[in-house]
Each structure stands twice: as structure tokens, then as C-alpha cells.
Structure 1
């Protein structure tokens, strides 16, 4: 029983580190008597694969400088994350296309970064200088 608890805590910590949420039923999920502990490992692997597909690193200042963070999921309103109207450069480190929008709810002017693409200065784009309020991945 203790091993199951440790595995569940480890899976939850991994999910939080990746910026993903576990399903509501995950906290109560236990392998059946004849099952294996591979169930928790499978969910953790899925979260890791998703994070590898969706990954954009954003920076407070132009040319990838100052405060930075990585987003691995859609963000409808960056005000909740403390990044609203502060992003000045970004790099797409994932396998999906990512769009950074001027307004919350994926509206307004936008910058699109294809896989591996970087943008050193959002101020070079109309309506995007320190104006990013939402981020959406397209896989």
C-alpha cells in the first residue's frame, strides 16, 4: 500500500512540474489485485510526451532576456499566470505550432511560431509589444 501511495505522489509531482493536471479520478485510482504498477507509469509517460509536443519558452524582455518560463498547455488568460502583457520574446521548443495572442481568449493580433522557430522581439509586430494575453498550441 505504501508503494502505491509513493507512486501516486510521484505521478502528481511530475504532472505539476510539467504544468499538466491529472484527471480527477487519478487520486483514487489503484491497480486491481491482478494488475501492475505500470498504470501510473503509463499516465506519467503520456504527460511527458504531451509536454514534449507542447513547449514554448517565453521571456520578459527582447532577445531572450530577463525573467522566463515555459508553458506546455494552452493558456486562455495569462493574467492568472502573472505573464499578462509582459512577453517580449519566445522560442518554440516543442513539436506543435504555437500562437501567442494579444488578448485573452485567443483574440486580437497574434504571433505564430512553427516548430523550432524563435521570435527575438515582439515589438517588431503590430499590436504585440508587451501585449500577449493568451497562448494556444496547434498539434
Structure 2
């Protein structure tokens, strides 16, 4: 019984990571009359499409070096994620424009990167060298 719970917890973690809904139990694994596997697959692809639409990779140092992460949602305060005042370069890998703000809650100096644009050194923008505190996508 314990192994079944551990396996279920692992499957739930994987599903949450991938953004897929799990059945409530093994007996629910068959699709309901109103919902097919094709619909479930379509929902998962919509999540992937949304993530692809909003995607920016940020780097701690200029010229895309050292510690990095990817954001796919608006970030009101980067202090909570360990990226406050540390971003020095970025690559917009999504389809939306991404705006970098000097202060939290989308205030202060700002600059943006359109789809496919890169910025090798935030220091080339007034008040933005290691000063980004929030990020917002405009689609």
C-alpha cells in the first residue's frame, strides 16, 4: 500500500510539472463520457503554447554568462525569487514583448525586448545595471 502511495505522489509531481491533470484514482483512468484523451492532450498543448508565448531567459552577468533562469509569467517582485537587482543580460525567447522595470510592482526606469531580441548588457540602459526588480509581458 505504501508503495502505491509513493508511486501516486511521484506521478502527481510529474503531472504538476508538466501541467497535466491526473485522475483521482486508478479506477478513474478511463476518460469520462464527456471528455476524451484528445481533449486532454489539447489542453496540455494549450499550456505549452502559453509558455512559449511568454518566455524570457535572464542571466546574472553580461553577455549571457553564469547563473540563469527562465521566466514565463509576470514577476511583480523579483526579491521573492532571488533575482532582485541581479539581472545583467537577457534573451526574449517568446512571442510577447517583455518589459524590465527598475522597481517592484512595475515602477521606475524600464526598457523592453520585443520577440527574439537580446540584450547583452543591461548597463547600456539608464538606471538598469543590476537594478531589475520586476518583469512584465505584453502580448
The normalised TM-score by structure 1 is: 0.80
Equivalent residue, structure 2, for 1:11: 15
Structure 1: how far apart are the matches of 2:11 and 2:49? Answer: 19
Equivalent residue, structure 2, for 1:104: 104
RMSD in angstroms over aligned alpha carbons?
2.5
Structure 2: how far apart are the matches of 1:28 and 1:74? Answer: 30
Alpha-carbon shift at residue 40 of structure 1 (Å): 3.2
Alpha-carbon shift at residue 11 of structure 1 (Å): 3.4
Alpha-carbon shift at residue 39 of structure 1 (Å): 3.8
Quick one: structure 1 residues 10 and 40, their matched pair in 2 at CA, closer, same or farther if it must change by over 3 Å?
farther
**Per-residue displacement from partner, 1:49-104 (whole Å, max 9, x unpaired)?**
01111110100001111101111111001111110000001010111100010001
Structure 2: how far apart are the matches of 1:108 and 1:28? Answer: 46
Quick one: structure 1 residues 27 and 105, their matched pair in 2 at CA, closer, same or farther if it must change by over 3 Å?
farther
Structure 2: how far apart are the matches of 1:53 and 1:73? Answer: 10
Equivalent residue, structure 1, for 2:116: 116
> Displaced runs of 4+ in structure 1, greater than 4 A?
5-10, 26-32
Question: Matches of residues 43-58 of structure 1 in structure 2 within 5 Å?
Answer: 43-58=43-58
Provide the aligned length of Structure 1 versus Structure 2.
127
Contact preservation (8 Å) 2:60, 2:89: yes
Equivalent residue, structure 2, for 1:131: 131
SS in 2 for 1:66: strand
SS in 2 for 1:108: strand
Equivalent residue, structure 2, for 1:37: 37
Structure 1: how far apart are the matches of 2:22 and 2:128? Answer: 40
Q: List alignment gaps of at least 5 residues for structure 1.
A: 16-21
Equivalent residue, structure 2, for 1:75: 75
Q: List alignment gaps of at least 5 residues for structure 2.
A: none
Question: Is 1:92 aligned with 2:80?
Answer: no
